[in-house]
């Protein structure tokens, strides 16, 4: 009898975590490596949020809590959905988990039966297909390439939907491309979804607050209220509040779905960390002005990286609306050979050679389901980004 499950064999470890770990190991071994792999802001968690956590510890708020969130946090989330998205979710329609990741996983485990399909636009966040597989479902990838600004067309969505489709995953601004859908673009998709009442919508709004140049964020249940009773609106504090390590994510959705997700969570992690929940109350209720100053830094870095990469022969880098990623094409580098003698047959070969020869760690596009590309996370200092861009340019200029 095999010791490991058959299901485990179907999934792969997170490639973004693998790249981050490899860059860390090389640095520890003394190599001069610039890591552009990690999907987390380099800013510290704001002091008022840290203070709320230390207060929670001092006040003994250190015990098990309600499975899917303390009432104070559910209220803060309720207020946030009303304030930012015009969405009214009661506390019974809100679930808090250990990061957005657990919330998404709970939703899939609670709803997917074998052969249930989940439509995932590509390029996608690396975890969606594997989470669907772990929960026993079937990922159905719908391509959204560089020519449509990495945004799924209504026709491509329509073509991907079958009688077995249970969920459609929507992520704007997106990881890995930073692409954000305008209200009109999103309406094109919600019109399709209205015609398919058996399809549920899972919108991952994790990068809601990280948008630039006056871009207006919109979410499906807000744009099309008739979809609200089959939409799960997922969000979290990780990215906007620089709280990746605190592990708090949340969602609003129909009560029956939220209850099912609670049942899953009650038999896995019991509840999210009590101290982090109190910190998240402060994040959502406290001052929000630092988000604007963080975004100003992100926007400056985005412009620096887009300009730097577009200066590299063989690379085309579109300008994204949000998040802290760019997703350039390396179509012009394919088939060439590096100074070190490596042949660039695909984007994985490109990323491997770039790390080996120039000490720049990026994540190859095939991990996100769309090649030939790579993802840069520009959540690092301007100096590191400028140096990384000049190394990438040297690498590309030397290709023959
Ligand atoms: C699109 C997207 N959704 C969800 C998550 C998970 O966030 P959390 O840290 O809250 O689990 C991430 C993190 O990288 C992400 O990029």
Cα 105 to ligand 1 centre (Å): 11
Cα 100 to ligand 1 centre (Å): 6
Q: In this predicted structure, what is the pLDDT of residue 343?
A: 97
Q: In this predicted structure, what is the pLDDT of residue 22?
A: 81
d(CA 49, CA 284): 9
Ligand 1 atom index nearest CA of 16: 14
Pocket lining: 323 vs ligand 1, CB cutoff 6 Å: no
> Can you state the angle between helices 274-285 and 71-80, rounded to 10 degrees?
30
- CA nearest to 202, candidates 118, 90, 93: 118
Count CB neighbours of 279 within 10 A.
29
Q: In this predicted structure, what is the pLDDT of residue 378?
A: 97
Cα 206 to ligand 1 centre (Å): 6
d(CA 204, CA 234): 5
What domains can be seen in the chain, in order of their start residue? 6-44+290-395 (3.90.1150.10), 62-285 (3.40.640.10)
Is-contact 94 258, C-beta < 8 A?
A: yes
Mention every residue, 6+ apart, whose C-beta is less than 8 A from residue 6: none
Q: In this predicted structure, what is the pLDDT of residue 185?
A: 98
Taking CB atoms within 8 Å and a gap of at least 24, the contacts of 134-140 are 134/7, 134/11, 134/105, 134/108, 135/105, 135/108, 135/109, 136/7, 136/112, 137/108, 137/112, 137/113, 137/166, 138/164, 140/165
Pocket test for ligand 1, best of 38, 123, 127, 234 (most atoms within 8 A of CB): 127
Count CB neighbours of 118 within 10 A.
27
- CA nearest to 110, candidates 202, 192, 193: 202
Pocket lining: 98 vs ligand 1, CB cutoff 6 Å: no
Cα 332 to ligand 1 centre (Å): 31
Cα 337 to ligand 1 centre (Å): 35
Pocket lining: 236 vs ligand 1, CB cutoff 6 Å: yes
Cα 254 to ligand 1 centre (Å): 22
Count CB neighbours of 32 within 10 A.
10
- CA nearest to 149, candidates 282, 34, 278, 319: 319
Pocket test for ligand 1, best of 101, 108, 181, 327 (most atoms within 8 A of CB): 101
- Alpha carbon nearest to ligand 1 atom 13, residue: 39
Q: In this predicted structure, what is the pLDDT of residue 14?
A: 75
Pocket lining: 204 vs ligand 1, CB cutoff 6 Å: yes
Q: In this predicted structure, what is the pLDDT of residue 38?
A: 83
Pocket test for ligand 1, best of 132, 209, 238 (most atoms within 8 A of CB): 238
Q: Residue 44 has what DSSP assignment? A: P
Pocket test for ligand 1, best of 14, 38, 99, 102 (most atoms within 8 A of CB): 99
Strand order in the sheet with 325-326: 325-326, 374-377, 363-364
Pocket lining: 169 vs ligand 1, CB cutoff 6 Å: no
Pocket lining: 175 vs ligand 1, CB cutoff 6 Å: yes
Q: In this predicted structure, what is the pLDDT of residue 45?
A: 97
Ligand 1 atom index nearest CA of 204: 3
Q: Residue 83 has what DSSP assignment? A: I
* Per-residue pLDDT tens listing for the chain (400 residues): 889 998 888 887 777 777 778 888 888 999 999 999 888 899 999 999 999 999 999 999 999 999 999 999 999 999 999 999 999 999 999 999 999 999 999 999 999 999 999 999 999 999 999 999 999 999 999 999 999 999 999 999 999 999 999 999 999 999 999 999 999 999 999 999 999 999 999 999 999 999 999 999 999 999 999 999 999 999 999 999 999 999 999 999 999 999 999 999 999 999 999 999 999 999 999 999 999 999 999 999 999 999 999 999 999 999 999 999 999 999 999 999 999 999 999 999 999 999 999 999 999 999 999 999 999 999 999 999 999 999 999 999 999 9
Cα 98 to ligand 1 centre (Å): 11
Q: In this predicted structure, what is the pLDDT of residue 18?
A: 76
Cα 84 to ligand 1 centre (Å): 19
How remote is the C-alpha of 392 from its chain's centroid?
25
Q: In this predicted structure, what is the pLDDT of residue 86?
A: 98
Taking the model in full, what pTM does it have? 0.96
Q: In this predicted structure, what is the pLDDT of residue 12?
A: 79
Cα 336 to ligand 1 centre (Å): 35
- CA nearest to 316, candidates 307, 308, 328, 325: 328
- Alpha carbon nearest to ligand 1 atom 7, residue: 100
Q: In this predicted structure, what is the pLDDT of residue 13?
A: 75
Cα 339 to ligand 1 centre (Å): 36
């Amino acid at each position: 009898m095999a010791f490991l499950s058959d299901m485990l064999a179907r999934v792969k470890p997170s490639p973004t975590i693998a790249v981050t770990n490899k860059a860390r190991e090389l640095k520890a071994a003394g190599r001069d490596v610039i890591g552009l792999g990690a999907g987390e802001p380099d800013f510290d968690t704001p002091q008022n949020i840290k203070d709320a956590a230390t207060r929670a510890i001092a006040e003994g708020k250190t015990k098990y809590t309600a499975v899917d969130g303390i009432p104070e946090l559910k209220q803060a989330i309720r207020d946030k959905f009303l304030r930012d998205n015009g969405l009214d979710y009661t506390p019974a329609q809100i679930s808090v988990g250990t990061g957005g990741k657990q919330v998404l996983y709970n939703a899939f485990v609670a709803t997917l039966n074998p052969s249930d399909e989940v439509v995932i636009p590509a390029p996608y966040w690396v975890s969606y297909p594997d989470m669907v597989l772990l929960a026993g479902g079937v990922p159905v990838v719908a391509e959204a390439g560089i020519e449509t600004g990495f945004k799924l067309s209504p026709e491509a969505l329509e073509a991907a939907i079958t009688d077995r489709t249970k969920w459609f995953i929507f992520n704007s601004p997106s990881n890995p491309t930073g692409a954000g859908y305008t209200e009109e673009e999103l309406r094109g998709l919600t019109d399709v979804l209205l015609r398919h009442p058996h399809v549920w919508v899972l919108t991952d709004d994790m990068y809601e607050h990280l948008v630039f140049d006056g871009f207006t964020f919109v979410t499906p249940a807000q744009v099309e209220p008739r979809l609200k009773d089959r939409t799960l609106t997922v969000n979290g504090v990780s990215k906007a509040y620089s709280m990746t390590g605190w592990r708090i994510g949340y969602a609003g959705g129909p009560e029956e779905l939220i209850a099912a997700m609670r049942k899953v969570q009650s038999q896995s992690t019991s509840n999210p960390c009590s101290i982090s929940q109190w910190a998240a109350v402060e994040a959502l209720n406290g001052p929000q002005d630092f988000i604007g100053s963080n975004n100003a830094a992100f926007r400056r870095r985005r412009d620096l990286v887009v300009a730097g990469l577009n200066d590299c022969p063989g690379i085309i880098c579109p300008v994204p609306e949000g998040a802290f990623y760019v997703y350039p094409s390396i179509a012009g580098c394919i088939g060439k050979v590096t100074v070190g003698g490596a042949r660039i047959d695909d984007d994985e070969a490109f990323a491997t050679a770039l790390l080996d020869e120039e000490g720049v760690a990026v994540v190859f596009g095939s991990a996100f389901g769309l090649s030939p590309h790579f993802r840069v996370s520009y959540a690092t200092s301007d100096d590191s980004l400028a140096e990384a861009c000049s190394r990438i340019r040297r690498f590309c200029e030397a290709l023959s």
